[in-house]
Chains A and B, each alone.
Chain A
Amino acid sequence: MTPKTVTAAEIAAARAAHPLAFRAPLNVRLRRAALWTGFALLYCWCLYDFDVSPARIWEGLGRLGRVLSFMFPPHVWTEWREFSEILKGLGETLSMAFLGTLLGAVIAFPLCFLGAKNINRLPILRFTVRRGFDIIRAFETLILALIFIRAFGLGPLAGVLAIAVGEIGVLAKLYAEAIENTSTKPVDGVVASGGSRTQSIRFAVLPQVWPVLLSITLYNFESNVRSGTILGIVGAGGIGFLLADRIGAYRWDEAWSIIFLIIAMVYLIDWLSGLIRARFIGTWEGAR
């Protein structure tokens, strides 16, 4: 049997019979056109407002090409003194992320019960606590770091505290949501066998959420390692300071090498925490 071919006349007939299958109605087309025109106009206005000209882009790309050309071969520190400084910066970033996440978790853990619907039965208190978490999360870590530098001086301590305070808002919210997602049946069991409310939390709620809490904390540690690398740019310790220093001095080859090391470190942390999660914790569906 030969395959059936469609003739032009048949297509025309089908088009006449079912116009909507071939073309959207006029008002839909008009709305779409208006949306795209508005979008394009806004973008063009942005280009004008930001003073973007082909010449400027071209010049910038030329400079970027020159900067990129310093990437290879990457700078290799031959002197141990210089290299140990870089390693110390990386270690400082890791310590800041670790300590910040740990402190944040320790403070957020008791607070999260106040924000969980199935533990805290007072809507007003719960609402207040939840908005408190929101307000803390509204502070950018970098801005917190800038404020803490004024109080605690330049250095990694400001970074640790900035990460910790930011984490309280994030972790308390995520913990509270994890607690709300627990099953009520174990709680009923504990209550039925004569347990108090504290005991029902300890023996029915907590065992359900432990793995989720650990998983959330681990994910936040990872993201803090990523975001902690820049805190040094404003003076809050870690590898960011060394990087900003190199870029400021136009030592691009060293800057690129530091960026490579940051990427390697983040990979390593991702891989390690993936291992830990797979081995001990299991998956958390809210993972980003």
Chain B
Amino acid sequence: MSAALLAFERDYSVQRRRSRLTFLAVTGVMLALFLLSAHASNFFLVTQVTLADGSRAERWVIGAGLPRLGEYISKTIPELSWATLGSDLADWFGRWRIWAVLLLETVLIAFMATVLGVIGGFVLSFPAARNLSPNRWVLWLSRRYLEIARTVPELVFALIFVFCFGIGPLAGVLAIGLHTAGALGKLYSEANENIDMRPLDGVKAAGGSWFDMIRYGAVPQVLPNVLSYTLLRFEINVRASSIIGYVGAGGLGQEFRTAMSYQEYTDLSALFIIILVTVTVIDRLSEMLRHRVIGLEARA
């Protein structure tokens, strides 16, 4: 066997051994993490359950819960039959007047919150962009602010704002708006960092201030991106506002809570269908709008 071949065989076996060791180590770490988190989250918990004949037995929690889950879900499915379809549907969506009002409220909460978030995120995205920020302190401060605003979930903000502004949609608007400002500010500032700096130099050379540079140099370049991110966020906010009512911040979420606590099972499925249809419709509409905007941009 030639020397080159021998060297290859040796290197190959070393490589094999190393990758096998890495695999073992990674598997070991993952297994340890799995067991640790399974322990912390009661994954393998065994509890006592009452059997049908009244005796107690030890059962794995997930195994015992799965049939109950099926039972619960099957309870939410209403009885529909062809003969009485009309009245069955009327019964299922019996609260449609209330739901229609709350659905409108949900979409309006998302709308207002998106506008607030766009304003906040847009204004802060320029100081938070590395290439546009006037100085390091402004950059640091605006970045931290945006990070905190998007790290804290909107439901937490909602809990705080419900205390401050009372129960109702105002708290939801402010909570989702604040979170949106954080999320959009990051995306916008990333768009800002990718712009061509030459138009800004042009504005500066013509004697423009920092604001002029942003207004006439940066904004026209990022506007299509901003619009596309905003529409995407609006969809996300419709989902968010549909559950934010759970803590009393307006919208359909409060109906979820009511239906759950009064055990109105079929209401749950009706509410779910309403939200699903709304979100799908908004998805489609904004996708159409977005494609038009992007198409316009490509043609220009």
Name A's B-contacting residues (CB within 8 A): 42-43, 46, 49-52, 56-57, 60-61, 63-64, 67, 88, 91-92, 94-96, 98-99, 102, 138-140, 142-143, 146-148, 150-153, 155-157, 159-161, 226-227, 229-230, 233-234, 237, 240, 243-244, 247, 250, 255, 259, 262-263, 266-267
Contacts and interface: CB of A to CB of B under 8 A. Distances in A.
B72 A56 contact: no
Interface stretch (B13-21, B162-170, B217-225, B288-296): B162-170
Contact of B256 (A91, A143, A157): A143
B214 interface: no
Interface stretch (B4-12, B33-41, B86-94): B33-41
A267 B151 CA distance: 9
Contacts of B77: none
Contacts of B46: none
B69 A151 contact: yes
A262 B37 contact: no
Contacts of A56: 165-166, 170
Nearest to A138: B276
B108 A99 contact: no
Interface string B237-248: 001001100110
Contact of A230 (B40, B109, B155, B165): B155
Nearest to A47: B112
Contacts of B73: 147
Interface of B: 30, 33-34, 36-43, 45, 61-62, 65-66, 68-69, 72-73, 105, 108-109, 111-112, 115, 147-148, 151-153, 155-156, 159-161, 163-166, 168-170, 173, 239, 242-243, 246-247, 250, 256, 260, 272, 276, 279-280
A222 to B, nearest CB: 11
A40 to B, nearest CB: 10
A263 B239 contact: no
A247 B160 contact: yes
Nearest to A99: B37
A267 B150 CA distance: 12
A84 B170 CA distance: 36
A160 B66 CA distance: 14
Given A95-B36, A98-B33, A157-B42, A140 B68 contact: no
B112 A160 contact: no
The 5 A-B pairs with the shortest beta carbon distances in the complex, nearest first, are: A95-B37, A151-B69, A60-B165, A156-B41, A95-B40
A233 B65 contact: no
A140 B41 contact: no
A283 to B, nearest CB: 14
Contact of B156 (A46, A50, A259): A259
A237 B170 contact: no
A52 B170 contact: yes
A143 B72 contact: no
Contacts of B39: 95
B41 A237 contact: yes
21 contacts: A43-B112, A46-B108, A46-B112, A49-B105, A50-B168, A50-B173, A51-B170, A56-B166, A56-B170, A94-B37, A102-B30, A138-B276, A148-B69, A150-B260, A151-B69, A157-B41, A160-B43, A233-B156, A233-B247, A259-B152, A263-B148
